[in-house]
Amino acid sequence: MTTGPNRATETPRRRSAVDQLIETGASGLGNGIGWMAESGVLFVVFAVTWAAFAAALVWSQGSLDQAWAAVRGLPIVLQVVAWVVFLPVMFGLWAWETTWPLIVRLALVLGVAGWNLLVFLPRALQGPQP
């Protein structure tokens, strides 16, 4: 006694060209990001970004204000893209631009930067795995 369609006897549904295009693009993008994370490319990108953030923090805090103003001046779609692509750095920039006490802002920025670099640390540099 069956109450629904039998999946074993159904013919496979043919995917549309749009479905195939989206699947190909998404899997390629995912594989590319995975490769960049494993090979250390993302670690280097974020290390350079955080080094620039630190240099601006020490030598030219006004440039951080200008960077925040530049991002805020972008159209909303580009702001979303910037936040998604550089989420830890954007969070650090947002935290720095708040009116919170200096020690809180500094702790947030250093904590996020350390966490971000630790997450993208290549396996080869992490040491032996048990």
| pLDDT for position 15 | 78
| pLDDT for position 2 | 55
Domain span holding position 103:
75-122
Question: How far is C-alpha 85 from the chain's CA centre?
Answer: 4
Q: List, for residues 102-127, the tens digit of each pLDDT value.
A: 999 999 999 999 999 999 998 767 66
Whether residue 9 is predicted with pLDDT greater than 70 in this model: the reply is: no
Give a yes or no: residue 47 inside a domain: no
Q: How many residues does the chain have?
A: 130
Higher pLDDT, 110 or 129: 110
Q: List, for residues 11-62, the tens digit of each pLDDT value.
A: 567 778 877 777 777 777 778 888 888 888 999 999 999 999 999 999 998 9
Whether residue 7 is predicted with pLDDT greater than 60 in this model: the reply is: no
Whether residue 76 is predicted with pLDDT greater than 70 in this model: the reply is: yes
| pLDDT for position 34 | 82
Q: Which amino acid belongs to residue 4?
A: G
Q: What is the distance between the alpha carbons of residues 10 and 98, in angstroms, rounded to a whole number?
A: 58
Q: What is the distance between the alpha carbons of residues 89 and 120, in angstroms, rounded to a whole number?
A: 13
The model's pTM: 0.74
Give a yes or no: residue 63 inside a domain: no
In the chain the first and final C-alpha atoms are separated, in Å, by 52
Give a yes or no: residue 33 inside a domain: no
| pLDDT for position 69 | 97
Tally of domains in the chain: 1
Predicted confidence band of residue 4 (pLDDT cuts 50, 70, 90): low
Give a yes or no: residue 54 inside a domain: no
CB 43 within 8 A of CB 121: yes
Give a yes or no: residue 26 inside a domain: no
Give a yes or no: residue 56 inside a domain: no
Residue 98 DSSP symbol: S
